[in-house]
Amino acid sequence: MNCDEFKLRIDDLLDGRLSAAEAREAEVHLERCPDCAAELAETVGLAARIAELPRTLEPERDPWPGIAARLAEDRVARGRFGRRELAVAASILLAAAAVIGAYLIGRQQALTASAPAAAPAAGAVEAEALLASFDALGVLDYATTRQALLEVLERRREQLAPETFALVMANLELIEESMARIATALGADPGNELLQRQLVTAYRRQVDLLERAARLPSRV
């Protein structure tokens, strides 16, 4: 087995999908090739970090109390300060906070992995960079839309069956978890087109779900 063949089989090796003979060939190659040994170690480290991410980003079991509380705070703030500016700022922060947090975690991990001695990135600059990329992807409208739809959904909560509301919230949570995972990966690889597409798709799915939930027919 040469280096190219080994690199192509790293995932299969880690997933235990190599035959006994192939695994032995890989082992022999590793013993005499420090470059491939280093790449294997790097891949193992990356896989371990990815495996850890969902646990570090796991939201509350029921995210609604937190969302409702933030909505309430937002309403109070609007009364005290400029309504339009605060609404825009709050909606962007509300929508982007979790994703930016995930992005920063991924970015920090990538920096740590590639240059352990490097100084930590400035969070505000990274957040601005990510927001700029959101703007380029056309998702800042999403933040405003999402906020408005969450408010409509909150007002309609009593009109929906509790199990329907719970199901909608559970699926919104599922989408947000996916968004956080994608954002973490995007933090480590900001130019990745697949991840950018997936993140935009996740945003769209969330708005679609909120729109549908906001216009669901009422129960008796």
Q: Site residues (CB under 8 A) for other proteins?
A: 7-8, 10-11, 15, 39, 42-43, 46-47, 50, 110, 114, 161, 163-164, 167-168, 170-171, 174-175, 178, 181-182, 185, 188-189, 192, 194-195, 197-198, 201-202, 205, 208-209, 212-213, 216-220
Least distance between other proteins and beta carbon 28 (Å):
21
Q: Which stretches within the chain are classed as H helix?
A: 3-8, 10-14, 20-32, 34-57, 64-80, 83-114, 123-137, 140-156, 162-188, 193-214
- In the bound state with other proteins, the residue whose beta carbon lies nearer, of 89 and 216, is 216
Least distance between other proteins and beta carbon 167 (Å):
6
Query: What is d(CA 54, CA 107) in angstroms, rounded to the nearest whole number?
Result: 15
- In the bound state with other proteins, the residue whose beta carbon lies nearer, of 83 and 215, is 215
- In the bound state with other proteins, the residue whose beta carbon lies nearer, of 72 and 166, is 166
Cβ atoms within 10 Å of 72's Cβ, excluding its own: 11
Cβ atoms within 10 Å of 198's Cβ, excluding its own: 18
Q: Which of 108, 207, 213 is nearest to 166 (CA)?
A: 213
- In the bound state with other proteins, the residue whose beta carbon lies nearer, of 136 and 194, is 194
Least distance between other proteins and beta carbon 45 (Å):
11
Q: Which residues contact 176 (CB under 8 A, 6 or more apart)?
A: 59, 63, 98, 206
Least distance between other proteins and beta carbon 83 (Å):
33
Q: Which of 125, 100, 106, 108 is nearest to 176 (CA)?
A: 100
- In the bound state with other proteins, the residue whose beta carbon lies nearer, of 47 and 129, is 47
Q: Which of 180, 174, 173, 191 is nearest to 102 (CA)?
A: 180
Least distance between other proteins and beta carbon 32 (Å):
20
